[in-house]
Amino acid sequence: MKLKDLAAELGLSQTTVSRALNGFPEVNEATRERVSEAARRLGYRANVSARRLATGRSGAIGVTLPLQRSLHFGPHTSEFLSGISERMAQHDIDIVVTPIDADDEIPVFRRLVASKRVDALVLSAPTPNDERIAALTELGMPFLMHGRADNVKIPHAWLDIDNEGAFRRATSHLLDLGHTRIAMINGPEDQTFAIHRDRGFRSAMLARGLTPDPQLIGGGRFTDENGFRLAQAFLERRPRPTAFLAGSMMTALGVFRAIRLAGLELGKDVSMIAHDDVFPYLNADNMVPSMSTTRSSIRAAGARIAELLLQMQDGKPPGSIHELWPVELVLRESTGPAPK
Amino acid sequence: MKLKDLAAELGLSQTTVSRALNGFPEVNEATRERVSEAARRLGYRANVSARRLATGRSGAIGVTLPLQRSLHFGPHTSEFLSGISERMAQHDIDIVVTPIDADDEIPVFRRLVASKRVDALVLSAPTPNDERIAALTELGMPFLMHGRADNVKIPHAWLDIDNEGAFRRATSHLLDLGHTRIAMINGPEDQTFAIHRDRGFRSAMLARGLTPDPQLIGGGRFTDENGFRLAQAFLERRPRPTAFLAGSMMTALGVFRAIRLAGLELGKDVSMIAHDDVFPYLNADNMVPSMSTTRSSIRAAGARIAELLLQMQDGKPPGSIHELWPVELVLRESTGPAPK
DNA sequence: TTTGCTTTCCAAATCGCTTTGAATGCGGCA
DNA sequence: TGCCGCATTCAAAGCGATTTGGAAAGCAAA
């Protein structure tokens, strides 16, 4: 069943049928109704390839799946994709996942652009001087950055959460509770979100006249293993830290284990605040003790990114799209007053 | 830069250029070389929409992202997608993720088919009488099931892991260690993989003349919360179970917590074997105690599925594609002899 | 009746590729 | 010389939509 058939069936021209279905004003309402009804009845759907060729737009947006970085992007993927795709499906826009080696991103972009495979891209995990921004801008490929690159002057769209503010507040709270030896288990050092968190942590400490102990700061992948190793090392220092900041729920699990293994009790001997991206399968509320977190739904971010991309397609200039989301601080049982 | 331009640049016809680039035999090697060189130099890439329209194939395969089921599919997504997409990228085939409400899958399939958006689909999480199989077969849309539907006679392609065998072996091993009160924390009861695991568990028990205690069997989502709740309830029974089988690493985390909270030691007072899909961010080896697992890489499954889909596109009949992967039993510290 | 607008619909061009069917050049053979 | 077969190359016809530039019909005003 193609447009031609449908038009023949209705005794109308392809033009009219096409316009009727695509909501053009110059077609009689009665005709439009008749056309839609027939389309529904006969199960007609426009061949997307043909439409894409004719309109010059691919009707798809690309989401890069960084293979190397997948170690820390991993568990986030499904939530993020769900958020984006649910919204896009309503607009009949495809989500194409494109695996990318961190090594040769730019050539891949070049190919994507040349083949007109996607109308826009969603990038993740920016570094401070992220060179992808310049590359894509030059190639004329619209994109939205999930996160922020710090030092890039080129105007571009981004959506980020307030990592710095979140960790400043979390740190301040721990300081309020009397903790002074606070350990920080951050993410990969080259990522801006980790840098921002570090900045928030430090500024809160400095505001109280405290200097963060570099021996109590670690970074790396968001794996439980990494959390465990770092926490274990930190706990061996004397005086030992009385509180932990963890960059993700995965690392928090590892820290948790290290604390227990050291014979300490979380929420009493040691406090912890972890960042929570709100995974449905790993709930901070249901841990024992329940985990205090800085919370921001990555799924919601995905949905919003979809919305913003749609606006960009409608002509909204990328340079005007900057969203910085506040992060909730949710206090639960894993934080308590510093032991005397 | 389009085909026409490239052809003009070279002083050749579009036909020849197209054939040269697509590896047809009837073009002179010298010409082909000249064409490829020019294409490379000028950064030519075929417009995918045009190609798709001309060939009638979409050059994309769809991966359904079940929104409801995402609770247990969630953490697997990125690994699975990476596996598929890495392989497909080499063939210039897009991976389109399609969010699907469990409620109205069939209409979505119908639309997918009508719009010729994808050439094939990957389905996940089958139920015993999975009605998607009949629907897609009728619609003429090729697909590959990740998992198996039990009672469906229609020939179709699938790749599954030997859940029954895995859990039979795991159970047998626990029995060998002297455990007889074994608790089982399975997945969602309507899913075949959960049913198969249950079957493996029961058959191993029955083979030793033991009847599984229905009070020690639970199912549900693969969340740490669910694992925790069920394990806690099971541990309150008397006599209490001395061993656990957990359906996923997420539930295992919950079970772990419940065991600890009950003042018991994993690997000594209580044993556990969990199923491990090999997430890079949650490593059974690095837990304390390290976790004995039934292990099967979901990423490898994704890669293989991509391979099989390619074979299907080359004409291999779906009914001939059935792969049942063995599952490793990896013994670590979480399993020990049953306490006296 | 003619003219000038709307409203509604249409024929044909176009998007950039693949593919069919035919043409060209050339050496070999009768 | 003339014909055949082979290796190459080409012109043009699709693929199925959108879109441009009218055209026909209906109606009001001149």
Which pLDDT tens digit goes with each residue over A161-190? 999 999 999 999 999 999 999 999 999 999
Q: What is the pLDDT of residue B73?
A: 62
Fold topology of B163-296 = Rossmann fold (3.40.50)
Q: Is-contact A115 B46, C-beta < 8 A?
A: yes
In chain A, residues 66 through 105 whose Cβ sits under 7 angstroms from any atom of nucleic acid strand D:
none
Q: If pLDDT is split at 50, 70 and 90, which confidence band does A45 have?
A: very high
- Euclidean distance between CA atoms A59 and B18, whole angstroms: 25
Q: Which CATH superfamily is domain B3-46 in?
A: lambda repressor-like DNA-binding domains (1.10.260.40)
Residue B204 CA to residue A233 CA, distance in Å, equals 43
- Residue B193, Ramachandran bin (φ over 0: left; ψ between -120 and 50: alpha; else beta): alpha
Sign (positive/negative) of CA torsion A140, A142, A147, A153?
A: positive
Give, as ranges, the nucleotides of chain D with any atom within 7 Å of a protein CB: 7-12, 14-21
Q: How many CA atoms lie within 13 A of B283 on its CB side?
A: 16
- Written as six digits, the tokens of A309 are 């991309």
Instruction: Tokens for A20, please give them.
Output: 């009727």
B75–A279 CB contact, under 8 Å: yes
Quick check: helix, strand or coil at residue B163? Answer: helix
Q: Where are the domains of chain B?
A: 3-46, 60-161+299-325, 163-296
Nearest by CB to residue B286, choosing from A65, A97, A228, is A228
Say whether pLDDT at A331 is over 60.
yes
Q: Which of A78, A124, A276 to mutate to test the interface with B (most CBs of B within 10 A)?
A: A78
Which residue from A minimizes the CA distance to B81? Answer: A97
Footprint of strand C on the protein (CB under 7 A): A 11-16, 26-28, 31, 50, 53-54, 56; B 2-4, 14-15, 18-19, 21-22, 44, 46-47, 50-51, 53-55
Residue B99 class from Cβ within 10 Å (0-12 exposed, 13-18 middle, 19+ buried)? Answer: buried
pLDDT of residue B68: 67
Nearest chain B residue to A39 by CA: give it. B114
Mean pLDDT of the region A232-251: 96
Structure tokens at B278: 């090999």
Q: Is the pTM higher than 0.85?
A: yes
Question: Which letter does DSSP use for residue B215 in this model?
Answer: G
Which residues does chain B have with pLDDT short of 50? Answer: 70-71
Chain A environment of B81 (Cβ under 8 Å) = 65, 77, 97
Cα separation, B45 vs A185, whole angstroms: 45
Percent residues over pLDDT 70 in chain A: 98
pLDDT at B318 (0 to 100): 96
Dihedral sign of CA atoms B221, B222, B224, B228 in order: positive
More confident residue, A88 or B76: A88
pLDDT of residue A68 exceeding 80, the answer is no
How many residues appear in chain B? 340
CATH 2.40.50.140 is held by the domain A60-161+299-325: no
The pLDDT value recorded for residue B266 is 96
pLDDT at A118 over 60: yes
Q: Do the first three CATH levels of B3-46 and B163-296 match, i.e. the same topology? A: no
Q: What percent of chain A has pLDDT over 90?
A: 83
pLDDT at A90 over 80: yes
Q: What is the largest CA-CA distance in chain B?
A: 87
Does the distance separating the beta carbons of A52 and B280 come in below 8 Å?
no
pLDDT for position A340:
83
Nearest to residue A150, comparing CAs of A114, A195, A185? A195
DSSP A77-104: HHHHHHHHHHHHHTTT-EEEEEEE-STT
Mean pLDDT of A92-98: 92
- What pLDDT, on the 0 to 100 scale, is given for residue A73? 62
D13 C1': nearest CA residue: B54
The predicted-structure confidence for B62-78, as pLDDT tens digits, reads as follows: 998 877 654 456 778 88
User: CATH number of the domain at A163-297, please?
Assistant: 3.40.50.2300
Minimal CA separation from B128 to chain A, in Å: 25
Question: Average model confidence (pLDDT) for chain A?
Answer: 93
Distance from C-alpha of B121 to C-alpha of B105, rounded to nearest angstrom: 13
pLDDT tens-digit readout, A256-308: 989 989 999 999 999 999 999 998 888 898 888 999 999 999 999 999 999 99
